[in-house]
Amino acid sequence: MKTQQCPACGHKINLKQAAEAKKLNGIFMLQCANCKQWSHENRKAAIVKNVGLILMLTGSVMGYFQLGGIIIGPIFAFTGGLIALATQLAVPRKLHTP
Ligand SMILES: [Zn+2]
């Protein structure tokens, strides 16, 4: 389950508990149920996270077909997963100011 924090009040936001959600210019926005602030994912973090996910996927495929030996695939997958997880946890959401 993907849980994130509201950058304004620290309230936990997740897709089910968010007051409202909408898409604005292709960016997924969530409204905090506690303070009604809109926030969205940090764009740079989202890019890094996607790179991590792609690396994880590539590594899994490589591991499955044993491309590049039995070590490299799993290392790619593991590193990609770490990158994705780290950006998700470490980079705070951005406040949306209309
Ligand atoms: Zn809030």
- pLDDT tens-digit profile of 43-82? 888 899 999 999 999 999 999 998 888 899 999 999 999 9
> How do the domains of the chain map onto residue ranges?
1-40, 41-98
Output the CA 53–ligand 1 centroid distance in Å.
Answer: 28
Alpha carbons 82 and 51: distance in angstroms, whole number: 11
Output the CA 9–ligand 1 centroid distance in Å.
Answer: 4
- Residue 9 pLDDT: 94
Q: What 3-state DSSP class applies to 20?
A: strand
Q: Residues, the chain, total? A: 98
**pLDDT value at 1 more than 70:** no
Output the CA 16–ligand 1 centroid distance in Å.
Answer: 15
- Residue 70 pLDDT: 84
Angle formed by the axes of helices 43-65 and 69-90, nearest 10°: 160
pLDDT band at 32 (very low <50, low <70, confident <90, very high): very high
pTM for the complete prediction? 0.69
**pLDDT value at 14 more than 50:** yes
The answer to whether the CB of 39 falls within 8 A of the CB of 95 is yes
Alpha carbons 3 and 66: distance in angstroms, whole number: 34
In this structure, the number of other CB atoms found within 10 A of the CB of residue 71 comes to: 10
Share of the chain above pLDDT 90, in %: 51
Output the CA 31–ligand 1 centroid distance in Å.
Answer: 8
Tokens 């989202």 found at? 46
